Structure 1
Amino acid sequence: MMTPPRLVPLLAQYDHASQRLLARLRGPTMNSGDDVDVAVPPFTDGEYLWDPVPGSWSVRRKEDGPGPGATVLVGAGEWGRDGGRPHPYPPPITTIAWRMHHLTEMLLGRADWTVGDHSFTESEMIVSGDAASAITSLEEAIVSWRAALTAVDDDALDAVGHSTYPDGGDAEEPFLEIVWWVNQEVLHHGAEIALLRDLYRASAAVET
């Protein structure tokens, strides 16, 4: 199927943003933006779970219970992600682990509620307790959402409710608006994760 012309720049932006994020996480190098390869330090479990400030929301073993201000650990398996509604205000600072799981869940969920069987829920998703598994899950989610994008025709871009993802405004918005929204989610969470990596490295340098 030919990619609708209106989708071409958004798909290119998604590809660039998602691959840049993966490179920032797994290395061994990434393009600095001026065609210079910059070394990417190994992404460790300690960094993945690092609390940038006391009381950060994160992913945790369920046996340990939710973190400060959270009322539930969302997800399936041994680990869960801090959550609960209504969210506290001001919003809590979140760890790299929390942000990666949030992004992974959103991409997988929207893919399922667009071209899947519309059954995905956050409660059934396995929460990664280590850095390597989290990267693998994120990459799989990136691929899943891209497959949903490349399955649409031009009419689908204007269709309200083409995605029926329940944790957003998808059912009330043209699909093209959802594509734009997901791109900005990848862009801004990718930037947050990159900044937290920089802060972790700087804090480790200060401590030594």
Structure 2
Amino acid sequence: MKVFISWSGTRSETLAKALREWFPLVLNYVEPWVSQSDIEAGERWGIEVAKELESSNFGVICVTRENLTSPWLLFESGALAKSMQDGRVIPLLLDLDFKEISGPLAQFQAKKAEQAGIKELVLSLNKAAAAPIPDQRLENYFRLSGAISKPISRQFPRARPHQKVPARRAKSLRNSYPASVASKCASGTQWMTIHRGVDLGGTESTR
């Protein structure tokens, strides 16, 4: 089962990489994928990300206050939503309340990056699997992995007020992804709404 983990910004990336390492400890059939971590040197990252978007069975979006309007996060969220069934895309909120989520991300059933929310995320992943682990065994795996005694959210520092998050530089969205993936996200005025502030020409954007 392939799980695409979307991120934007330093804290979001840290959470994404932690999930990448942690998911297989609880669900051994999960193959998590995080851009940058899982792209070999020399590969064209846009094509590789597009391939993973199309082949993934589940999507997790690492959302922080700093990336609520990130064009890259919204783009990948839109592509995931178009590719997957309802309930298979879950925003994971780090230091955020549900009421703070708006726009395209509001269409998804979000979870918080804390004990209860992470457990619900794992249960959702297991439910979507072709051969899910029995509930009792999953409870044991979840406890042994340390998710109950040490919630993931406690591993990360809280954002400072007005903190400027270092961004990852990349090419423009339209030029980075194959047309087959870009068309899945949105088109026309809807595209411009979701990607407000994004240069769709040939200039650089940031992640």
TM-score bracket relative to the smaller structure:
under 0.3
**Structure (1 or 2) with the larger CA radius of gyration:** 1
Higher relative contact order (CA 8 A, sep 6+): 2
Larger strand proportion of the pair:
2
TM-score normalized with structure 2 length: 0.25
TM-score normalized with structure 1 length: 0.25
